[in-house]
Amino acid sequence: MHPNKSPHSDGMSPIFFQKFWHIIGLDVVDIVKSFFHTGHLLKSFYVPKVDCPTNLSYFRPISLCNIFYKAITKLLANKLKPILNSCISCNQVAFVPGKHIFDNIIVAHEFLHFVKKKKEMVRMVLWP
């Protein structure tokens, strides 16, 4: 993620996490681990306002779901990368490394050319 990019309306950019990782890093890792164990993600996160907070009033609640969702998505995408080709149909070409959507356009064009050249009726089945 670009450091100054804010992924959504929460206003928290990745640079916040980079700059204050020494303070919130372990909490972020715990939240991501918790997501994989429970399937639930917290809607807010408490950031300390002072060095040694002793009371709840010394914390600032901030909604950070967007950054966490983005981090979890990136984690999952990187884990799935090695097996992606075996999970996706050979007919699927969009968003698959090494394949291009234009390949299907060429196949469709060649098929239409074949049908046009053939003098008899051609039957075909389309499926989703």
Determine the 3-state secondary structure of 121 from DSSP: coil
Prediction pTM value: 0.47
pLDDT tens-digit readout, 48-66: 888 888 888 888 776 655 6
**pLDDT value at residue 45:** 66
Gap between the terminal Cα atoms of the chain = 34
Contact (Cβ atoms closer than 8 angstroms) between residue 3 and residue 19: no
Higher pLDDT, 97 or 52: 52
The DSSP 8-state label assigned to residue 87 in this structure reads H
Q: How many helices and strands, by DSSP H and E, does the chain display?
A: 5, 2
